[in-house]
A and B are shown apart, each in its own frame.
Chain A
């Protein structure tokens, strides 16, 4: 018979809880640290940057929720009620994660893309489509294809932003951080949709994701905190 705590919080859930907590904490810290700068300046780029990390926090919260269901109920869809909650959580997770990536890309491209409210609606519609496809078709081919297309799109946008950047070559590390963030984000999504597919590399994905969020948080606190 397992000890009571193991029953309530199996090891998988414990690891997921710590992982999700660190990422949610970093994302909300970034959101909080940039609050005053946005309130003072009303600068659109800061707004989109903040929104991106708010959506990352929401996505990771639901990611943990999904894992909780996967571990506690071997097959959440066996029970109608838990099945619905599982599907809704998966939809919110997919939607929030796509919105987070769109907002981060838009934060570096909004000036070139002629800022308009319609683009935000377009991102919402695209994210909803990605979420619906990801939720309804959870097969390996669909999941990999969907995320590969999304990653290629993000890579092209980052490449354009990188080329247009006025900074010197060695000062453009931000784009590498964003690219790695997107790659590990896609691996996170695949890990949720196909839990056994990346099981061997799970801990590496977690450590790399945490490192990336902490690097961004460090850069934000360094810049936002200095006068």
Chain B
């Protein structure tokens, strides 16, 4: 899969969290991502590592939420893609 596809997948995961009022459990997020468990795990850890998402514990349950950087990524996604296309990066 190309890096361009990777950015799209990252956007889709973040968008899914955003559409669930910024709070979703891992299992439904995995289901909605349409990815294999192993593939999802890789992206999940990358998004955590890049501080685009964060884990929040609430009454013993683990929820995923967007960070400020994650929100900014969604806002700037189209600009980033346009820039990559314009400069053939």
A: which residues have CB within 8 A of B? 34, 36-37, 39-46, 48-49, 107-108, 111, 161, 165, 167, 174, 219-220, 223-224, 226-227
The reply on B73 being an interface residue by CB < 8 A is: yes
Q: Is the CB of A49 within 8 A of B73?
A: no
The reply on B84 being an interface residue by CB < 8 A is: yes
Q: Is the CB of A111 within 8 A of B2?
A: yes
Interface of chain A: mostly helix, strand, loop or mixed: helix
- Given the contacts A108-B88, A108-B89, A45 and B3 also touching, CB distance less than 8 Å: yes
- Given the contacts A41-B7, A44-B3, A165 and B79 also touching, CB distance less than 8 Å: no
Contacts of A44 in B (CB 8 A): 3
Q: Is the CB of B73 within 8 A of A45?
A: no
Q: Is the CB of B89 within 8 A of A42?
A: no
Q: Count residues on chain B whose CB falls below 8 Å from chain A CBs.
A: 21
Q: State the Cβ distance, A174 to closest chain B Cβ, in Å.
A: 6
Contacts of A165 in B (CB 8 A): 88
User: Which chain B residues (41-80) contact chain A, with CB distance < 8 Å?
Assistant: 50, 52, 69, 72-73, 75-76, 78-80
Contacts of A227 in B (CB 8 A): 75-76, 78-79
Contacts of B86 in A (CB 8 A): 174, 219, 223
Q: How far, in angstroms, from A198 to B29 measured CA to CA in the complex?
A: 63
Across the A-B interface, the 8 shortest Cβ-Cβ residue pairs: A45-B89, A223-B83, A40-B73, A108-B88, A223-B86, A37-B80, A41-B80, A107-B89
Contacts of B85 in A (CB 8 A): 167
Contacts of A108 in B (CB 8 A): 87-89
Contacts of B88 in A (CB 8 A): 108, 161, 165, 167, 174
